[in-house]
Amino acid sequence: MSDALPSVGEIVAPIIEKVEPEQQPLLIALAERIAARRYRAWAETVGIGDERERLVACAEREEEVARRVEGLFENAASVQSELLARHGGLEATYSELFEGRPLFDQFTIQARGERLGAATWRALADNSDGSTRDTYLECAKLEEQSALVLEELAGAKGSR
C-alpha cells in the first residue's frame, strides 16, 4: 500500500469550492451517491460472503447520508440537478482516483475519503444548530463506520 495515493479531498475540493457554501452539502450528497455506486461495484467484484455484505452496507450508509442531507433542503432535487449541470465531471474525476489501482489501494483511498467526509460533516455541524447539526453529526458517524470497514478490508487485502 502506497502513501503516495491520491487524496479524495485534493481532487474534489476545487469542485466544492466553486459552489456557494449553502449548496455545498448538496454537492457532497451527490458525491456520497457516487461513492455508493463504487461500493456496489466493489461488492460485485468480491462476489459473495462477508466482504460483499460489508461493502453493500457501506453503500447503504452512503445513500443514507445523501438522503439525510437532501432532507435538510426543500429544493434539494432541483439544486442538485443544477449542480450536476455545472459540475457533471464530478463522477469521472472521482473515478480517476481509483483507475488501475489494486483493490486494497482503492479501499485505502476511499477510507481516507470517508474520514475526510466525517470531518466535513462535523465542520458543517459546528456552524449549524438544532436538527441540522444533529443530522450532520449522524452523517459523520456513518462515514466513520464505512471508513473502519474499508480500513479492515484494505489491511486484509494488502496482507495477501
Q: What is the DSSP letter of 7?
A: -
pLDDT value of position 157: 53
Domain range list for the chain: 8-158
For residue 109, which of 65, 159, 147 has the smallest C-alpha distance? 147
The span from the CA of 141 to the CA of 143, in Å, is 5
User: Taking the chain (160 residues) in consecutive chunks of 10 residues, what is each chunk's mean pLDDT?
Assistant: 76 88 95 96 89 97 98 95 87 88 95 96 96 98 98 71
Render the burial of 16-49: b for 16+ CB within 10 Å, e for the rest.
Answer: beebeeebbbbbbbbbbbbbbebbbebbeebeee
The span from the CA of 56 to the CA of 62, in Å, is 10
